[in-house]
Amino acid sequence: MVDSLQLYSFVQIKTAKLATALDIGGFGVVFAATTFAIRELDLRIMVIGMICACLNVLMYGSPLAAMVSFFLKYLSTIIKIVLFPFSIRFHLFAVDFEVAFFSFLDFLYTII
């Protein structure tokens, strides 16, 4: 009979091996693709920067999405509200507009 501690240890080792393989394999794929497929240094730096930015958004966005989902479920089940109050909706709109506006200004600055 397999002890629960042994099973947990086996799953932990398997997960660590998978994470290590994906980490090294992902780096190898990006390194090989950018080294052999792109010859210009500026373009290579831009492609690596875009890959890092996308991975950064995924890395920080996944827990945030889980927290927002949990928060919305909490609000709808515990407090029994369906819609946000106007003040919260207005604040979210204002923050989104501010982020979009400054992104647009940054885009214009890079063009000029």
Q: Residue 98 falls within a domain, yes or no?
A: yes
Has residue 110 been placed in a domain? Answer: yes
Amino acid at 103: S
Query: Which pTM value belongs to this model?
Result: 0.45
The boundaries of the domain holding residue 89 are: 82-112
Name the phi and psi angles at 101, rounded to 5. Answer: -65, -45
List the pLDDT tens digit at each of the 112 positions of the chain: 455 556 667 777 888 888 888 888 888 888 888 888 888 888 888 888 888 888 778 777 777 777 777 777 776 666 554 566 777 777 777 888 888 888 888 777 777 6
Instruction: Flag whether 95 is in a domain.
Output: yes
Within a domain: 90: yes
Specify the number of domains making up the chain. 1
Within-domain flag for 9: no
Does 102 reside within a domain? yes
Neighbours of 95 (CB within 10 A): 10
